[in-house]
Structure 1
Amino acid sequence: MGFWQRVVVNTLIFVALAGFFPSFLHVSTMWVAFIAAVVLGILNMFVKPILVLLSFPITIVTLGFFYLLINAFILELTSAVVGSSFEFASFGAALLISIILSIVNVIITSFLSR
């Protein structure tokens, strides 16, 4: 799946998750969700590989569970870049949203690849 396809999918997921979990995730408008998806894509391209490389030993020791914390940190970083119109209630909320976001992305990616 290409960058812009993933941005559109993440935009829709952000809006849906903000509707399902309003106490965990605040997204003010659809455009803010789009901007957050673009920022998330850019952070996933440039920052996430560095974090994964630096945290590789602890990821191995924790059998990959630390990777979930990296995903939540990237979402929190996205929230910090976008501003108060896209924010999480806590780091735990970002962790839950990152798990759901990852699962939905895997399902949609496998569906679109057929």
Structure 2
Amino acid sequence: MNFLVRLLLSSLAVIIVSYLLPGVYIEGFLAAVIVALILSLLNLTVKPLLIILTIPLTVFTLGLFLLVINALMILLADVIVPGFAVTGFWWALLFSLLLSLTNALLADLSGSRK
């Protein structure tokens, strides 16, 4: 049940952030749910692999390369999910930052972190 609540909150965050950014397009709530699901799956499988492969670069940039990895996950979700479009790398980077902040805010407001 907790996973479903987090998935719905993530979907809501995707919709909110896509309305704020002109470079991000989401077709509807179902597409937002699919984006949230795909992003969680990518963060569970592909992201740890990329982090391990880029440890030297991440250390050299003092962790800032992790932002690039987050943007790449957004761009990969853009390729996978129909009805979701990001116009470029910088919009993906900004989307990932705002999505993280919105997810944290919604999780705190809903009390789903307890």
Aligned to 2:91: 93
Pair 1:8 & 2:8 matched: yes
Aligned to 2:100: 102
**Identical positions, percent:** 32
Q: Structure 2: 5+ residue runs without aligned partners?
A: none
The answer to whether the Cα contact below 8 Å between 1:27 and 1:86 also exists between their aligned partners in 2 is yes
CA shift at 1:44, angstroms? 0.7
CA shift at 1:109, angstroms? 4.1
CA shift at 1:89, angstroms? 1.4
Distance of 2:16 and 2:103 partners within structure 1: 13
The answer to whether the Cα contact below 8 Å between 2:9 and 2:107 also exists between their aligned partners in 1 is no
TM (normalized to structure 2)? 0.88
For 1:42-66, what per-residue CA distance to the aligned partner results, in whole angstroms no more than 9, with x for missing partners? 1111111101111111111101100
CA shift at 1:7, angstroms? 1.6
Pair 1:19 & 2:29 matched: no
Q: Secondary structure at the match of 2:85?
A: strand
Whichever residue aligns with residue 70 of structure 1, its letter is I
Cα pair distance change 1:54/1:3, threshold 3 Å: farther
Q: What value does the CA root-mean-square deviation take over the aligned residues? A: 1.8
Q: Structure 1: 5+ residue runs without aligned partners?
A: none
Aligned to 1:72: 71
Whichever residue aligns with residue 3 of structure 1, its letter is F
CA shift at 1:70, angstroms? 0.3
Count the aligned residue pairs. Answer: 112
Distance of 1:81 and 1:32 partners within structure 2: 11
TM (normalized to structure 1)? 0.88
